[in-house]
Amino acid sequence: MLTISVVIPTYRRPKDLARCLYALKKQKVPTYEVLVVVRDTDTETWTFLQTFNPELLPMRTVTVNVSGVVAAMNAGMDATSGDIIAFTDDDAAPHTDWLERIEAHFLSDSNIGGVGGRDWVYHGTRLEEGERQVVGQVQWFGRVIGEHHLGVGEPHEVDVLKGVNMSFRRSAIAEMHFDRRMRGNGAQLHFELAFGLALKRAGWKLIYDPKIAVDHFPGQRFDEDQRNQFNNLAFFNAVHNETLVLLENLPLIRRTVFVFWAILVGTRDAPGFVQSLRFLPKEGSLAGQKLRASLRGRREAWNTWQQSK
């Protein structure tokens, strides 16, 4: 039997956090410890925690005084003592067999360093539907495929897990931390990509199993990244983070191809010239704003990478 520590970064979403904690209470496998990571200035969450019955869960709090999910994840991870460290978000509710299925995978193969699964996304009461066989992959030329919230099929190896539903073997991550160079003061998109690819390079397996599930109710964000709403800084930060990770983890030939592909083609979320032209009829001047933010993000990531060598 393995001991599993659960880390929950939270910020100003006490009702969401309550739902998450009660879901952990209902786990078939007892939770070894729950670490709730709270910002020092988050009075809403601290007030809620004063009323939460500590007998419901073996729960401790960890205080951070730095903004951003990376600082919270690292602080929570450093405070854990379990064999496995599982992460979920405050706006998620793990299914009752979440910990049971996570443990089973780690027990099945000592070469597995990370395990994650599907997050069933709800927009209000509406469940986002769809099915994807391919999730959590980095294609040879650097295009990142996420889609963890729509994954189906049997458990299989992936390149990246999703922060709302991921877990790691303590002996695999050793002294690793989530990359503090990730830009942003809230979500800091693509921090999972850096962590996952580093584990893969070290020879560990990452397993995605759609049956390892959480219900995900995307909560309000309190930074520049407001979900599905263009913000120049948030867009720039996301492109910078993704580009930095890929420059650092792709081998030379793939890295070279990635740089040319990213600038010339790109994706919807990080457009190059071709994608910008594709969306120009529909988005007008917004397509140009996204292209400029994307190119600046790529350039700044290159500078960050060079400075880190």
| Furthest CA-CA distance within the chain | 58
d(C-alpha 63, C-alpha 79), whole Å:
11
Question: In order of start, what are the domains of the chain with their CATH numbers?
Answer: 4-216 (3.90.550.10), 232-308 (no CATH)
pLDDT digits (tens, 9 = 90+) for 22-73: 999 999 998 899 999 999 999 999 999 999 887 889 999 999 999 999 999 9
Residues 207-263 pLDDT 10s:
999 999 999 999 777 666 556 677 899 999 999 999 999 999 999 999 999 999 999
Q: Burial level of 222, CB count in 10 A (0-12/13-18/19+)?
A: middle
Alpha carbons 58 and 74: distance in angstroms, whole number: 20
**Nearest-angstrom CA–CA distance, 66 and 97:** 33
Predicted local distance difference test score (pLDDT) of residue 56 = 82
Q: What is the pLDDT of residue 224?
A: 60
Closest C-alpha among 80, 70, 63 to residue 7: 80
Residue 285 CA to residue 280 CA, distance in Å, equals: 7
Report the run of H or E that residue 115 belongs to, with start and end: strand 112-123
How far is 228 from 237, CA to CA, in rounded Å? Answer: 15
Give the pLDDT score at 141: 97
pLDDT digits (tens, 9 = 90+) for 101-158: 999 999 999 999 999 999 999 998 999 999 999 999 999 999 999 999 999 999 999 9
Please give the pLDDT value at position 229.
73
Quote the tokens at residue 289: 């704003």
Contact criterion met (CB below 8 Å) for 14 and 47: yes
Q: Which two tokens stand for residue 244?
A: 């930095």
For tokens 């910020």, name the residue: 11
Q: Which residues contact 275 (CB under 8 A, 6 or more apart)?
A: 265, 266, 267, 268
Helices marked H in the chain:
14-25, 43-51, 69-78, 98-108, 170-173, 191-201, 232-249, 252-264, 273-283, 285-308
Query: Positive or negative CA dihedral for 132, 133, 138, 142?
Result: negative
Residue type, 221: R
pTM metric for this prediction:
0.94
What is the enclosing helix (H) or strand (E) of 168? strand 165-169
168-194: pLDDT as tens digits: 999 999 889 999 999 998 889 999 999
Query: For residue 227, what pLDDT is reported?
Result: 66
Whole-number pLDDT of residue 146 = 96
252-264 helix and 232-249 helix, angle to the nearest 10 degrees: 160
Amino acid sitting at position 117:
G
pLDDT for the residue numbered 30: 86
Rounded distance, CA 127 to CA 93, Å? 14
Question: What is the reported pLDDT for 219?
Answer: 75
The reported pLDDT for the residue numbered 271 is 97
Are 138 and 251 within 8 A, CB to CB? Answer: no
The residue among 165, 171, 170, 159 whose CA lies nearest residue 195 is 159
